[in-house]
Amino acid sequence: MSAYLIRRLLYALPILVGVNVITFLLFFVVNTPDDMARMQLGERHVTQEAIDKWKAERGYDRPLFWNGAASGFEQATDTLFIRSTVRLFTFDFGRSDGGRDIGGDLRQRMGPSLAIAVPVLLLQLVAALGWALVIAWLRGSRLDVASALVCVAMMSVSGLFYIIGGQYLVAKLWRLVPISGYDYGLASIKFLVLPVVIGMLIALGPNVRWYRTIFLEEMGREYVRMARAKGLSDARVLFVHVLRNALIPILTGVVVLLPSLFLGALITEAFFAIPGLGSYTIDALQAQDFAIVRTMVFLGSLLYIVGLLLTDLSYVVADPRVRLQ
C-alpha cells in the first residue's frame, strides 16, 4: 500500500513538471515579460525604463532558460524557468502583478469557496443518488419516462438560466434572501442558500441520468440474480447490494471534482458576489493578472492529480476486491 502510494506520487511528479512547462511556455514564451509589462503599464506611452523596472521588481528580468551572464552551475539555475518553478513547487506564490500577496489572498478566499462547494457537492450527490435509485427501482414505469424527459430538459437549460432565474425569482420578487453578497460566520447562511440550491440544480440532470445507467448496468449482474434467487426483496437488493457496488464508478466522478471544490464555481461566485477563489480568478482574468492565473492553473492541476490518487484509494475502501500494488 505505502509502496503503491510512493510510486503514484513519484508518477505525479513528471505530470506536474509537464503542467509547469506548459504554463511557463504559455505565460513567458508565447508572450514575453515585455508584453506583460506593456499590458500592465498601459499599451502606449510607456518607456523602456518603466518596463525594465516592472520586470526587475518581479524577477522577470532573468533570461528564460539559459543565463549566460552567470557563472558555473548558476548558468542553468538562475533563470526565469527554474526560479519560477522552484517557487511554485515550494508554494511560494509571491506577489500578483497588481502587487498583492497571492498566498494570503488564497488563504482568505478559500473559506467562502468551500462554504459553497462542499454543501453543493454533498447535497447534489444525495439528491442525484436518491432520484436515480428511485427511478432505477421503478424502471420502465411512467415515472421513469417522465424523469428522463425532465433530466434531458434540465441538461439543456443553460446554467446561467438557473442563476439568473433564481436570483430574479427568489431574491428579487419574493425577497427571501439577499440577491448577492457575503458575510463571515453564521450570517453567511442567508447568502449561501440560493447559490447552493442553484449549484445543486445545475449538476442534477446529467448526474441522475449517469447514475441511473450505472445502477441499471449493475442490476444486470450475476450477484443480483443470485440475491433475488435467495428471496431478497427488490428494494433490499437495490438499496444495499446494487448501491454499494455502483458507488465505485460514482466515486470516480466525485473525486475528480475536488479541484473544482477548491477553485470554486467561477460563474456562481461572480454572480453572487462571493469573495471566493472563483471570483478571484475571474477578477485576475479581467485585470489580466498573469501571476494569479498561473498560480491557479498550477494549484488546479495539483488538486486534480491528488484527486486521481484519492480515487484509487477510495476504491480500496469501497471495493474489497481491489488490491493496490
Partner 1 sequence: MIQGGLVVLASDACLFVLVASALAYWTIARRHEHLRAPWREVWARPAAAGAAVVLGFFIAIALVDSIHFSTRDEAQDDVVSLLDLALESLRTHPETSYSAPFATHAYSRETVRLPDGRVHREYPRLVSGGAHLVAPTERPADIARRAVLGLALGLASGALALLGAACVERRRHGGLAAACRAIVGGRTRRPWRSLLAVGCAIALLLGLGIALAPWYHVLGTDKVGTDVLYQALKSVRTGILIGSLTTFISLPFALALGVAAGYFRGPVDDAVQYLYTTLSSIPGVLLIAAAALLLDVHMSRHADTFDSLAARADLRLLALCGILGITSWTSLCRLLRAETLKLREVEYVAAAQALGVRSPAIIRRHLLPNVMHIVMITTVLDFSGLVLAEAALTYIDIGVDPSMESWGNMINAARLELAREPAVWWSLVAALVFMFVLVLAANVFADAVRDAFDPRLRRVGAESIATLAQETSHR
Distance between CA atoms of 195 and 170, rounded to whole angstroms?
11
- Among residues 56, 86, 189, 285, which is the contact residue for partner 1, using CB under 8 A? 285
- Environment class of 266 (CB within 10 Å of its CB; exposed 0-12, middle 13-18, buried 19+): middle
Contact mark string toward partner 1, 211..230, x via CB under 8 A = --x-----------------
The smaller minimum CB distance to partner 1, of residues 70 and 282, is found at: 282
126 is an interface residue for partner 1 by CB under 8 A:
no
**Is the CA virtual torsion 243, 249, 250, 251 positive or negative?**
positive
The smaller minimum CB distance to partner 1, of residues 108 and 213, is found at: 213
- Among residues 218, 304, 313, 315, which is the contact residue for partner 1, using CB under 8 A? 304
For helices 277-286 and 290-318, give the axis angle rounded to 10 degrees.
150
CA 258 to chain centre: 5
Q: How far is the CB of 3 from partner 1 (least distance, A)?
A: 21
CA 77 to chain centre: 33
Q: What grid cell was written down for 64?
A: 528564460
The smaller minimum CB distance to partner 1, of residues 205 and 313, is found at: 205
Residue 44: CB partners within 8 Å, gap ≥ 6? none
1 is an interface residue for partner 1 by CB under 8 A:
no
- Binding segment for partner 1 (CB under 8 A), chosen from 82-90, 99-107, 152-160, 314-322, is 152-160
Q: How far is the CB of 59 from partner 1 (least distance, A)?
A: 20
The smaller minimum CB distance to partner 1, of residues 137 and 211, is found at: 211
Of 34, 61, 60, which is closest to residue 47 (Cα–Cα)? Answer: 34
Q: How far is the CB of 155 from partner 1 (least distance, A)?
A: 6
- Stretch 16-35 residues interacting with partner 1 (CB under 8 A): 18-19, 22-23, 26-27, 30-31, 35
Contact 317, 127 (CB under 8 A): no
- Binding segment for partner 1 (CB under 8 A), chosen from 59-67, 104-112, 230-238, 297-305, is 297-305
- Binding segment for partner 1 (CB under 8 A), chosen from 68-76, 77-85, 220-228, 281-289, is 281-289
Q: How far is the CB of 220 from partner 1 (least distance, A)?
A: 11
Of 64, 206, 75, which is closest to residue 131 (Cα–Cα)? Answer: 206
Report DSSP letters for 2-43, one per residue: HHHHHHHHHHHHHHHHHHHHHHHIIIIIIS-HHHHHHHHH-S
- Binding segment for partner 1 (CB under 8 A), chosen from 96-104, 221-229, 286-294, 310-318, is 286-294
Q: Residue 101: beta bridge partners?
A: 95
What letter does residue 101 receive in the DSSP assignment? Answer: B
Residue 67's SS3 state is coil
Contact 156, 209 (CB under 8 A): no
Distance between CA atoms of 204 and 118, rounded to whole angstroms?
15
- Among residues 161, 184, 223, 239, which is the contact residue for partner 1, using CB under 8 A? 161
Q: How far is the CB of 70 from partner 1 (least distance, A)?
A: 29
Return residues touching partner 1 (CB under 8 A).
14-15, 18-19, 22-23, 26-27, 30-31, 35-36, 39, 43, 117, 120-121, 124, 152-153, 155-164, 167-168, 172, 195, 198-199, 202-203, 206, 210, 213, 253, 256-257, 259-261, 263, 265-268, 270, 281-282, 285-286, 288, 290, 293-294, 296-297, 300-301, 304-305, 308
